[in-house]
Structure 1
């Protein structure tokens, strides 16, 4: 990865930090994105101490205004961008509205990568061959896109919202890959496994807090959880491979719902409307 530039969202802890550290260790210049500047700088120092080249960007990606500002900063800092790793994600047991009036799980897990990818797409195209890697979850298999209540206004369940957002990651990736065919930019999505991180602890159910100490020893370390992200971002084995779902660094079959091209198109159109993208600004 020497000479390559990579941006990793949610790169200040857990799988994201392990991904950034791993890619920096392979020689890439890595930009990490996090909400908290202190935590981001501590993560960057950890990577630098190991000899890595790292930049820090701070943004709360639940806000579209912040995503726009982040993209502007990245474009100003990086004349080329070889890989975008859409790693940021979260779980909230109760419904939270963002400053844009959207449900937080859908906004952070799906709309943020959807918007950021579009804003950086011209730079990725001009840097081709380039890659977009999006972190989903095995929860995509339980997901259903409820177009009648995408924001969980009528009925909210933290798990249902999370499952929906992870299926949305897969549908987005497959549609993006179709639209980018022949551009030199590939798009793939992955399941990192069940990883030992602080995921979901900001707003979790009581049963989750009780079960975590029991299952924690059986979870993957963040370093193991990052392996598939690093593989998709760097391996020559997947050069030119696009529109696939991976787990344990191998292509797998995702849920039946994820191959619904009509749903993918509809989700794309709805998402573009929610983030204010005009047709001319969308991948085609």
Structure 2
């Protein structure tokens, strides 16, 4: 029996993937913030005969204390991991700050993936063929990291925050094997394209209705979009880090995957974490 952690695991692709893995006999620890959706996930797992292999970890992954708590909980619940799927994200049309004073999209969509990926690397190395699948946006909508104002205090838009987090995740993937040079864990950056999820829920009503209408016609159902992710977990690519946009493999080269920028982001992130209240108090 293999064991997987999925962030954003009670909704959309994360939920679909978790149920797929459970139905075939794996163990799944689903991480999310909403109690109701977590209970629904456990109920559906139970109805499928997989209740004893499904766990729900309720946590606010936009806070550093929440990220650290998940790392601790996972370490306490399992002796090894076969895969970590990083899918927690939420589109925010307006700028919001977390309890740590960080821009919320950056904290949830990038920083939580940094903390969990590095924090659970030891457990992953005990897996048979371990993999991290970071559901991000390589090869998607262009964007850049605003090094002069990473927290977007002066020029925020929801799309700017989302694309910046995608570029941060590109660099996170490139940098992972640098920080873990002897690791067997394979890092996969995966852009699933347009998927039918609840990502449109925070949008203003006209945009929300339009996005939902387009999704009904053009978007991939979450259950179908989960299948390629399961394949990455079953047979991780041979290279230490790979990137895909749906079925197309991308070369992790160029500005979006620049090693010097990745090192710069790593240093920025470590410094930022060291200054958060929960880390200073520990």
TM-score (norm 1): 0.89
What is the alpha-carbon root mean square deviation over aligned residues?
Answer: 1.9
- Contact 2:138 / 2:244 at 8 angstroms: preserved in 1? no
Superposed CA deviations along residues 21-60 of structure 1, whole A, max 9, x for unmatched, are 1222332111101101221021122123223321110001
Q: Point out the more displaced range, 182-191 or 117-126.
A: 117-126
SS at 2:124's partner residue?
helix
Identify which of 10, 17, 20 aligns with 2:18.
Answer: 20
Shift of 1:246: 1.5
Which residue is equivalent to 1:123?
123
CA–CA distance in structure 1, aligned partners of residues 89 and 37 of structure 2: 17
After superposing the two structures, state which structure 1 stretch, 10-19 or 37-46, moved more: 37-46
- Please, which of 28, 31, 34 is the counterpart of residue 33 of structure 1? 31
Give yes or no for contact 2:140–2:245 (8 Å, CA) kept in 1. Answer: no
Runs of 5+ unmatched residues, structure 2: 276-282
Correspondence for 1:269: 267
256-265 or 44-53, larger mean C-alpha shift: 44-53
- Residue 221 of structure 2 corresponds to residue 214 of structure 1: no
Distance 1:36 1:215, change over 3 A: same
Q: Deviation at 1:120?
A: 1.3
Q: How many residues align?
A: 272
Which aligned runs of 4 or more in structure 1 are off by greater than 4 angstroms? 138-141
CA distance in 2, matches of 1:80, 1:213: 39
Instruction: Tell me, in whole angstroms, the C-alpha distance in 2 between the residues paired with 1:201 and 1:34.
Output: 16
Note the residue ranges of structure 1 that are not aligned, 5 or more in a row: 278-284
**Contact (CA 8 Å) 1:170, 1:189: kept in 2 or not?**
yes
Q: CA deviation at 1:206?
A: 4.9
Contact 1:141 1:254 in 2 (8 A): no
Higher mean alpha-carbon deviation, 223-232 vs 63-72, is at 223-232
Flag the 1:224–1:38 CA change in 2: closer, same or farther, 3 A.
same
Aligned to 2:108: 108
Aligned twin of 1:148: 148
Instruction: Identify which range, 175-184 or 249-258, moves more after superposition.
Output: 249-258
Q: CA deviation at 1:250?
A: 4.4
Name the CA distance, whole Å, in 2 between partners of 1:20 and 1:9. Answer: 10
Q: Is the 8 A contact 1:33 1:57 kept in 2?
A: yes
Is this contact kept in 2: 1:138–1:193, CA < 8 A? no
Q: Note closer, same or farther for the CA distance 1:15–1:4 as it changes in structure 2 (3 Å cut).
A: same
- SS of residue paired to 1:273: helix
CA distance in 1 between counterparts of 2:206 and 2:34 reads: 28
Q: Is the 8 A contact 2:200 2:211 kept in 1?
A: no
SS, match of residue 132 in structure 1: strand
8 Å CA contact 2:138, 2:167 repeated in 1: no
Question: For 1:76, what is the secondary structure of its paired residue?
Answer: helix
Partner of 2:225: 225
Q: Which moved more, 1:106-115 or 1:37-46?
A: 37-46
Deviation at residue 253 of structure 1 after TM alignment: 3.8
1:176 partner SS: helix
Q: Distance in 2 between matches of 1:116 and 1:55?
A: 17
Normalising by structure 2, report the TM-score: 0.90
